[in-house]
Amino acid sequence: MGSDLPRLFLLDSGDDDDDGGNISISNFRVLYCSDYYYHHDNLSRVYVFSTADAGGGWRLVRQSTEAVDDDDDDDLFESYMGQVIGRIDRCLYLATTEGSVRVLDNAGALEFSEVDLPIRVRKSGSDNEYSTFAVVHGGSPEPTASPATAFIVHVCRKDLELFRQIPSSGEWVLEHSIPRLSEATRGLQGHPEPSRWREVDVVAGGTRLAVLEVSLTWRRRGDKRSWSFSLDVNTMQLQAMPVVEPKIYTLPWPQSLH
């Protein structure tokens, strides 16, 4: 038995202009990833589609091959991996739970390349340990504005690393690290006892902020299963996320049904 997990990601047109991209309803590309799991094997397939020149449907721009030579590092299938963690300068960043990050150069020939992060937090060998990442933009309200600073937040176990990209060279450097997040967040509203912490995931990134979620052990009825807090990459300030209670409201009855 197998399972198919398709995913779609919107890319810009790949055409240069003054704003660094030229995307419109009639001119954009879509990255389609299909991960088929069969007997513990991950059979990934990757396709890139573009709108047709005349606006009448779609055309295939590039696709992965069915049979890939192990030494062929240039193939899209061989290079593809991971979940999308964000965009920087029209490039799509992907990461795996094993701690690898790659970038898809959407402005060029749609090639994947390795991102050299100076990661210091490594897994101790336990199967329950994994890495999560998120791209965060700082210094500007617009992610594509210059000179916006790009960051990548990495969380493994209960430790956090913040990497900053040097605009002039594109090099990534370790900006800050926070070991033992369970201790660093003491004093925040709703902080759970460290003994209940299972793992920490960075679940979202945007402008200046990354959102992290803590999975908690469940001991008795009424215990909360998770707790969330945010990290400001410009100030390194940690802050508890507000708890938003669900609200019930009534939609207006359609006039045609009166």
Task: Work out the percent of the chain whose per-residue pLDDT is above 70.
Answer: 69
| Number of CB atoms found within 10 A of residue 225's CB | 10
- Rounded distance between C-alpha atoms, residue 238 and residue 153, angstroms: 13
- Fill in the amino acid letter for 41: D
Q: CA-to-CA distance for 214 and 198, rounded, in angstroms?
A: 7
Quick one: pLDDT at residue 132? 93
CA-closest candidate to residue 80, choices 175, 139, 142, 7: 7
Asked whether the beta carbons of 149 and 165 are under 8 A apart, the reply is yes
Closest CA to 44 of 7, 19, 88: 7
Task: Return the minimum-mean-pLDDT range out of 59-73, 186-200, 223-237.
Answer: 59-73
> Could you tell me which residues come within 8 angstroms of residue 82 by beta carbon, excluding any fewer than 6 positions away?
94, 95, 96, 100, 101, 102
Query: What beta strand segments (E) does the chain contain?
Result: 2-11, 29-38, 41-51, 58-63, 83-88, 91-95, 101-105, 111-114, 131-138, 149-156, 159-165, 172-178, 197-205, 209-216, 226-232, 238-240
Q: How many residues does the chain have?
A: 258
Supply 142's token pair: 């617009």
Residues 239 and 171 sit within 8 Å (Cβ to Cβ): no
**What's the confidence (pLDDT) of residue 68?**
45
β-sheet bridge partners, residue 151? 136, 164
Structure tokens at 185: 């967040």
30-44, 68-82, 89-103: segment of lowest average pLDDT? 68-82
pTM, rounded to two decimals = 0.76
172-188 pLDDT per residue, tens = 999 999 999 999 999 99
The answer, yes or no, to whether residue 97 has pLDDT greater than 60, is yes
Exposed (0-12), middle (13-18) or buried (19+): which is 52, by Cβ within 10 Å? exposed
Over residues 222-241, the mean pLDDT reads: 91
> 236, 218, 238: which is closest to 228 by C-alpha?
238
**What is the token pair recorded at 119?**
């990661």
* Start-to-end CA span in the chain (Å): 50
Cα atoms found within 13 Å of the Cα of residue 68, Cβ hemisphere only: 19
